Chain A
Amino acid sequence: MDFYSFLIQLLNGLQYGLLLFLVASGLTLVFGIMGIINLAHGSFYMVGAYLAFSLAALTGNLLTAVLLGVTLSVLLGMLLEWLFYRHLYARDHLYQVLMTYGLILVFEELRSILWGDDVHGVAVPVFLSGSIPLTDNLSYPVYRLAISGICLLLAGGLYWLIRKTRLGMMIRAGAANREMAQALGINIEWLYTVVFALGLTLAAFAGMIAAPVSSVYPNMGGEVIIISFVVVVIGGIGSVWGALLAAILIGMSDTFGKVLLPEYAGMTTYLLMALVLLWRPEGLFRRT
């Protein structure tokens, strides 16, 4: 590998890592802050992608589709929290796994009934459809760079929200000690509804903006959920920066694993996780 290829592979790794962060960021909130093991997070990603597909076909414009889709996702998040998730806060992790696993099955069947089992494509918006030449025969799609930019913005926004705003303070207080926060007059129930809706919307949003590059297909949620948990665990549960760093590390290890150790490419990510956990069992940035 010459130096220039190396730089391009670095870009690939960074870009993949940022995409992973986008998918995992909602999980960081729901799993990291609310303490819910939400296996259905991948299904929300899938719901987002299919929403983007349908709404883009309906409105003819991905941007409008994303705006509409985000609104629908917030509503869906509130509804699901109210119907299902609020009964889980006080319960053991096993109940959470059972219920959220059940939701996966429900969402997959709904998907099959509503949209069928075909593979669908979503068009890239025209103003982002160009590409930048890197070598004589390789170019980089602008849309992928745009996704990276959005991921960075979201990472900053989440950090700001959780660390610098009143809402973030309440979220952290609720996560640290639910009863005490309640005693201080914070409406925890409402707060958790908001946080859960935000988490679901982040996953759905990731599905929406990833749809043009990944296509839309059955079981797509199942493919992202494991890697999302890996990101959250490596990063340190509840840490936005940790998740970002972990996602980029995984992006790099996956990219260079495929190039340098093609025979073992399936292992590199999990090897990385094992090493990090040996070194820091609580993840890179464990915060309380």
Chain B
Amino acid sequence: MTNYKRRDFLKNGAALAALSGASAAGVLLPATLAQAQSAAGKIRVGLMLPYTGTFAQLGVAIENGFRLALAEHGGKFGGRELEFFKVDDESDPAKATENANKLIQRDKVEVLVGTVHSGVEMGILKVVRESGTLHIIPNAGADAATGGLCAPNVFRTSFTNWQPSYPLGDLLIKRGHKSAVYLTWKYGAGEESLGGFRDGYSKAGGKILKEMFLPFPNVEFQALLTEIAALKPDAVVCFFAGGGAAKFLRDYAAAGLKGKIPLYGSGFLTDGILEAVGDAAEGIETTLHYGDGIDTKRNNAFRLAYAKTFKLQPDVYAVQGYDAGLLLTAGLDAMKGDIANKAGMIKAMENVKIDSPRGPWTMSKAHNPIQDIYLRKVVGKENKVMGVAHKALADPARGCKMA
């Protein structure tokens, strides 16, 4: 048994109680009621998100964002109210198809919004590709969802793992870093993120001296730091998140490498951990499709509204959930609430221009955002937005027949 399985094991158990509560609520709703609701009734929206376990806060932020978008549209999308059906997916891939089926077959949802964990997303994809249900992904970055497994009814409002790390290549060359070492956990998100960096860096003329992997979620970095010190690359690029990211940043600084070999990160390296890491994170630059400090009227208005409504500061996940709401209403407004007209919905959602807090973005042919990737720098205890690292970046959508 690996540590990874063990962790899942723990999470599952913890979530059992919460799940049974959630499903009981669904069961109470008679099936006849579902059919009684015609086009004039409420639109049935499934939320399949993690509400327990490590990713619980992400699930809550996404739902909050979605509900804020709804509230700003007077509680109606396309003139119709929404009825929510919630399932806690527990970030457990083993239960993904079952949970998605519950929403689609039992609750008869007309659009399924979810989820955070890429493994769970794979299960949802399998189900919605068969059922044809409209599906909006508010986080999971697995390249395949809008790549090899893309489908007309599947849309994403977040990112591909490839996207945030691609612009780092160009940035490193501009800074004069001609060689780099890449470091990540050996799992999907890490390897796909490496793919993005590799594409960008080799195109810009850089050389990756070595790609280093740790088994997920191992956090004993000392051996690899020793190797980095011996290889002496111009820069180090890494992909870590959460507790592992915090430990990596501390270890990197404690090994004396910080300040000698500059460290860059793609994605979420410095999100949510700056209080814990302190000085060890100072000055580290990362690339992501959002930054708390984007100083636009749009972002400031969003942040204020979110903070007022939920007494919480919004994060990138809240933005992605919010945009999922904006995307759905764009389709429904165009169709005057007729969600049953699937072809029309899909066409409308393909042609959107979302006025997002992260900046305006459009939908790629593979249904993933074509969006600006920001360069952020840790200053004090915040990720300061330094500018745009890559304007309107589209994922290559490898293997997608629609692209």
Task: List residues of A whose CB falls within 8 A of some B CB.
Answer: 1-2, 5, 8-9, 12-13, 15-16, 101, 104-105, 108-109, 117-121, 123, 131, 133, 135, 137-141, 143-144, 213-220, 222-223, 225-227, 254-256, 258-259, 262-263, 265-266
Identify which of residues 206-265 in chain B touch chain A, using a CB-to-CB cut-off of 8 Å: 212-215, 217-220, 222-227, 229-230, 232, 242-243, 246-247, 250-251, 254-257, 260-261
Question: Inside 8 A of A214's CB, which chain B residues have their CB?
Answer: 219, 247
Question: Inside 8 A of B254's CB, which chain A residues have their CB?
Answer: 131, 141, 143-144, 213
Question: Are A266 and B186 in contact (CB-based, < 8 A)?
Answer: yes
Question: Are B14 and A109 in contact (CB-based, < 8 A)?
Answer: yes
Question: Are A215 and B276 in contact (CB-based, < 8 A)?
Answer: yes
Question: Are B54 and A219 in contact (CB-based, < 8 A)?
Answer: yes
Chain A nearest CB from B281 CB (Å) reads 10
Question: Are A139 and B256 in contact (CB-based, < 8 A)?
Answer: yes
Question: Are A16 and B10 in contact (CB-based, < 8 A)?
Answer: no
Q: List the count of A-B residue pairs having beta carbons below 8 Å apart.
A: 138
Chain B nearest CB from A42 CB (Å) reads 9
B277 at the interface (CB under 8 A from A): yes
Question: Inside 8 A of A101's CB, which chain B residues have their CB?
Answer: 13
Contacts A131-B254, A226-B3, A265-B214 known; list 16 others, CB within 8 Å: A8-B226, A101-B13, A104-B10, A104-B13, A118-B275, A135-B230, A137-B261, A138-B225, A140-B255, A141-B255, A215-B277, A217-B246, A222-B10, A255-B222, A265-B218, A266-B186
B360 at the interface (CB under 8 A from A): no
Known: A117-B57, A121-B277. A5 touches B7 (CB 8 A): no
Q: Which residue of A lies closest to B276 (CB)?
A: A121
Contact partner of B2 (CB less than 8 A), chosen from A104, A137, A266, is A266
Question: Are B56 and A121 in contact (CB-based, < 8 A)?
Answer: no
Chain B nearest CB from A194 CB (Å) reads 29
Which of B54, B242, B275 is the most central at the interface, judged by chain A CB atoms within 10 Å of its CB?
B242
Question: Are A137 and B257 in contact (CB-based, < 8 A)?
Answer: yes
Q: How far is the CA of A137 from the CA of B261 in the complex (A)?
A: 8
Q: Which residue of A lies closest to B216 (CB)?
A: A266
- The interface bits of chain B over 255-285 (1 if a CB of A lies within 8 angstroms of the residue's CB, else 0) are 1110011000000000011011110000000
Q: How far is the CA of A226 from the CA of B225 in the complex (A)?
A: 25
Question: Are B256 and A219 in contact (CB-based, < 8 A)?
Answer: no
Q: How far is the CA of A225 from the CA of B218 in the complex (A)?
A: 13
Chain A nearest CB from B24 CB (Å) reads 20
Task: List residues of B whose CB falls within 8 A of some A CB.
Answer: 1-3, 6-7, 10-11, 13-14, 54, 56-57, 186, 212-215, 217-220, 222-227, 229-230, 232, 242-243, 246-247, 250-251, 254-257, 260-261, 272-273, 275-278
Q: Which residue of B lies closest to A123 (CB)?
A: B278
Question: Are A138 and B250 in contact (CB-based, < 8 A)?
Answer: no
In the complex, 15 of the A-B residue pairs with CB atoms within 8 angstroms, ordered by the A residue number, are A16-B220, A104-B13, A135-B229, A137-B229, A140-B255, A143-B254, A214-B247, A217-B242, A217-B246, A222-B6, A223-B217, A255-B222, A258-B214, A258-B220, A258-B224
Q: How far is the CA of A215 from the CA of B273 in the complex (A)?
A: 10
Q: Which residue of A lies closest to B280 (CB)?
A: A121
Question: Are A218 and B54 in contact (CB-based, < 8 A)?
Answer: yes
Q: How far is the CA of A143 from the CA of B223 in the complex (A)?
A: 17
Q: How far is the CA of A133 from the CA of B255 in the complex (A)?
A: 9
Contact partner of A9 (CB less than 8 A), chosen from B11, B213, B223, B251, is B223
Question: Inside 8 A of A133's CB, which chain B residues have their CB?
Answer: 256
Question: Inside 8 A of B255's CB, which chain A residues have their CB?
Answer: 131, 138-141
Chain B nearest CB from A49 CB (Å) reads 11
